[in-house]
Amino acid sequence: MNNEQKVTNEIKAPNKDLVNLRKDFPQCFDKDGNFQLEKFTLNLNEKEINFSTESYGLDWLGKSYARLLASDPATTLLKADEAHNKKDENKSSKNLLIKGDNLEVLKHLANAYYEEVKMIYIDPPYNTGSDGFVYNDDRKFTVKELQQLIGIDEEKAKRILAFTQSKSNSHSAWLTFLYPRLYLAKQLLKDEGVIFISIDDNEVAQLRLLMDEVFGEENFVGKFIWRKKEGGGQTDEFFVREHEYILVYRKSGEFVWKDEEIINSDTSFNKTDALGKYKAVKLAKWGTGARKEDRPTMYFSIKDPDNKNTFPIAPDGNPGRWRVGKTRMQNIIDNGLIHWEKKNGDYIPYEKIYYSEGDVKVIKDRSIIFDETSNTDGANALTELFGIKDIFENPKPTQLIQFLIRNNTEKEDVILDFFAGSGSTGHSVFSQNQVDSNNRKFILIQLPELINPQKKKITYDFVKDELKAEPSIFEITKERLIRAASKITKENKDYKGDLGFKIFETTPIWENYDFEVDKLDTQTKLFNESKLTDEDIKALLITWKTYDGIALTQDLETIVLGSYTAYYGNGKLYLMNKGFTTDNLKTLLEKIDSDKKFNPTSIITFGYHFDSKHLRELSENVKQYSNKKNIDIDFITRF
Ligand SMILES: C[S@@+](CC[C@H](N)C(=O)[O-])C[C@H]1O[C@@H](n2cnc3c(N)ncnc32)[C@H](O)[C@@H]1O
């Protein structure tokens, strides 16, 4: 059958709630597909369901508009950065960095990555008043359109449009910005999936209620308090704010938090004292960030068995830092949990970790992330990679993100960050995979937000002069990932993990790309296809294949049909180019016949590149062929 599809201007997230409702309650829909709420209520067994009588929730100006943004079609296409993607380190990489507004990108990912993501970490603008957050929206609705689209009165439509166009940073503006993005992101999470959101006091109350609404209150897992700095803050008005939060919501009850487990067979429990078997874990920090300068407050002395002061030593022999802060150290000392070993005349302290009865000892994580890492670690990591200080404001430490990754993902799990910033999440995935030999993949999304030369001259000059690129934050994200990968390679020469990534970006749909299918046959072409370049056709192909559920990292196979080139993947054959002839059709049918690995279940043609005579011929031949062979091949003409 010949099926006409308008896709390019219609890319949006599928409403799976409706699909599920239809599947489970078909009796509640009338013959025209309208949902009958009364029937639905009657269908529920009222004895088993407690109806909430409490009408409680979060409301703000713009909420209905925010819902519209979540369901509104994308206004862009996706295209590949071919030069980057074909480099050796990237060509078979399964990691992704996507340049664009995350609202657009999440819509593009809605099919291909539906329920594919195990963990989301985001660090959105906190709306501090000085972090530059303002509501930005290039969708242009008239008052009338808005009234119709979301069913509100004229007065409210005017107020919503006024605030969406006034560069506001009110709570309403922030909520309107975040709601559709969270709504779309939730659809990408697996049932066992989890989302972590960094936030501070400015919006934590709003975010909690917003997340209750989007994810459901019963899916609130908890809230970490992370001590992000020590010292400083003398300009804070009342008391020094040392912490911020990480909100944690799960997608469903399928989620489990993986505690650190020490298993019986762990041979490092090779010491014994009156309390039993234990292992000794060094108290001086090792690995990265182990120098005194990294955490000056974690450089202090403790008394050794000879009552002499002992200071932490870094792996390079210089002054180092402890793994724990003063309070925890005192606790360890008071509880007799230090194991001393004498090396070259000096005492070295270790923490005793006891082996417990039973098969497994579980060490539960705590809701306060206290001594492990701070903003300074985040900044130091960037300074080390770029050789320049303060290239990016408050990057999150990879140690913090790795802690979340370690406990929630493994193997080939996909980790998404749609406010990528300096790319800390990508760096953390690279590092954690190297440490524990897993093969997790990341998807990062970052807006090409322009760097203001007045506010961030160092960064602006670096991108312009050294990277020779348009000075946008995206370039920092990209460069950070490249430098992090090369550092890991240098430090671990034999490491063979995936340290590459592919780049895609959004690009606006061409002006006037609009049509009315029924008028096409009468030659009323509303869009002049001759304007489309090879690059444009490639963008269409990438956008459509993603819409059809094919991952961005999966390349389509090039199929040569005589003089014509087609593209194939996951049972879908794309005929995008001009010049398809009857001979090419013959070659195509012969190939289906003879090539056992080539079994297209859909043939998708780009309507503007086929005239109606050819299209009819093609579709009839495919139909005859599939009838004869008793196979199903959908023939789709797409615009
Ligand atoms: C607080 S920063 C994230 C920092 C990051 N966690 C790190 O460690 O570097 C938020 C980032 O989101 C980006 N951003 C803001 N709005 C965006 C949007 N609509 N789409 C994609 N990125 C956006 C900003 O450019 C900024 O880089």
Please report how the helices 424-436 and 398-408 are oriented relative to each other, as an axis angle in degrees rounded to 10.
60
Q: Tens digits of per-residue pLDDT, 444-481?
A: 999 999 999 999 999 999 999 999 999 999 999 999 99
> Could you please report the per-residue DSSP string of 44-63?
S-TTT-PPP--------TTH
Of the candidates 436, 437, 465, 463, the one whose C-alpha atom is nearest the C-alpha of residue 452 is: 463
Q: Tell me the pLDDT band of 371, cut-offs 50, 70 and 90.
A: confident
Q: How far apart are CA 639 and CA 9, in angstroms?
A: 9
Quote the tokens at residue 314.
């870094």
Ligand 1 close to Cβ of residue 448 (< 6 A) = no
Name the pTM for this structure.
0.85
Express each pLDDT in 258-306 by its tens digit.
Answer: 876 655 566 778 888 888 888 899 999 887 778 898 888 899 999 999 9
The secondary element (H helix, E strand) that includes residue 436 is helix 424-436
User: Do residues 538 and 79 make contact, with C-beta atoms less than 8 angstroms apart?
Assistant: yes
Please give the number of the atom of ligand 1 that sits closest to the Cα of 122.
Answer: 6
Q: Which residue has the tokens 């292992």?
A: 279
Rounded distance from Cα 422 to ligand 1 centre (Å):
8
Q: Is the CB of 424 under 6 A from ligand 1?
A: yes
Does the pLDDT at position 84 exceed 70?
Answer: yes
**Cβ 446 under 6 angstroms from ligand 1:** yes
The residue ranking higher by pLDDT, 184 or 517, is: 184
Residue from 196, 446, 455 whose mutation best tests the ligand 1 pocket (most atoms within 8 A of CB): 446
Q: Which domains does the chain have, with CATH numbers?
A: 1-56+513-639 (no CATH), 66-134+169-259+368-506 (3.40.50.150), 261-363 (no CATH)
**Confidence tier at 524 by pLDDT (50, 70, 90):** very low
What is the reported pLDDT for 522?
Answer: 42
* Residue 401 Cβ < 6 Å to ligand 1: no
